[in-house]
Amino acid sequence: MKQSLAEGLRWGCGSREGESDQLDLGVDEGPRPAYNKGMRLEPETYTAEEIVQMLATQNVACFDGHRLHTLVAFLWRTGVRSSEAVAIRVADLQLLSVRPTVKIVWGKKRNQRTIGLDGDMVLELNSWLDKRCHILEGRGVDGDDPGLKLFPTREGQPMTTKGLRKSVSNLRERAKVGKRIHCHGFRHTFANELVARGLAVADISYLMGHRSIAYTQAYIRSRTAQPGAIAATCSAPTWRTATPRGRPGGRQRGLPPRPSAS
């Protein structure tokens, strides 16, 4: 009796032909999968003009706008993963070196690497560090702590990967570039730009943090599909001065004091 009752509750007694035998008990089945889950979408890259358009949507006078402005530029000019970007500390930056770099300590599978920074990216980071330090110190957090994350929240807590991805995807409506905007798109753009500049695939593989060149090949396949778009990214050195929403240049943080006049 108990077994037949259980079967009736499970399959539904007297269900009609063609209808589901599953009894709807009003149980929440959880969130539905994303509409593009399981689909193999074509890798997307962005031109320098499109990225400058994205940067121009951010109000750098406020903390969140300035942080996203610097983050988008950083994703583009370094090709790091979103998880790597939110894990970078101030101590991982070498902005005062003859060749400025950022060290990726928490790479995928603990794969560490060092990436060079162009002059515009150094200026952008210096400007962000000034804003960041000012806001954090106003909330009682030591903004000059080298162990603090480079892109924290206003309270000095680490930014989450989910929060970064959501902020980047929201740029689509503002920038109106007609493409999906996501963190990995900047990674594809970075890889294809290096190919257009003639860098060897093995070197690109190192900068991307890949353990096999086979993974890198998947990133640079889109170069043949969009040659014009990839070639346009070679104008990257002018990206910061082309951004209409300017901001203070920022002091060179960590510079030794100037010698006093004798």
Question: For 48-238, which CATH class?
Answer: mainly alpha
Q: What are the tokens at 173?
A: 């409506």
> Terminal CA-to-CA distance of the chain, rounded, Å?
103
Q: Are 15 and 21 in contact (CB under 8 A)?
A: yes
pLDDT in tens, 45-87: 899 899 999 999 999 999 999 999 999 999 999 999 999 999 9
> How many whole angstroms separate alpha carbon 193 and alpha carbon 117?
14
Q: Where are the domains of the chain?
A: 48-238
pTM listed for this prediction = 0.72
Is the pLDDT at 158 greater than 90? The verdict is yes
Is the pLDDT at 188 greater than 80? The verdict is yes
C-alpha radius of gyration, the chain, whole number: 24
pLDDT grade, residue 240 (50/70/90)? low
Amino acid sitting at position 98: V
Burial 226-254 (b: 16+ CB within 10 A, else e): beebbebbeebeebbeebeeebeebeebe
Handedness of CA 93, 246, 165, 137 (dihedral sign): positive
pLDDT in tens, 9-43: 333 444 444 444 443 444 444 555 554 555 555 66
Confidence at residue 144, expressed as pLDDT on a 0 to 100 scale: 86
Q: 105-109, 131-135, 140-144 — which is least confidently predicted?
A: 105-109
Confidence at residue 186, expressed as pLDDT on a 0 to 100 scale: 93
Three-class SS state of 123: helix
Confidence at residue 83, expressed as pLDDT on a 0 to 100 scale: 92
String of DSSP letters for 223-237? HHH-HHHHHHGGGGG
- Which carries the bigger pLDDT value, residue 250 or residue 257? 250
Confidence at residue 214, expressed as pLDDT on a 0 to 100 scale: 81
Long-range contacts formed by 150-159: CB under 8 A, 24+ apart: 150/88, 150/89, 150/90, 150/92, 150/93, 151/67, 151/70, 151/71, 151/85, 151/86, 151/88, 154/63, 158/86, 158/87, 159/67, 159/86
Distances (CA, A) of 129 to 19, 67, 135, 171: 62, 10, 10, 23
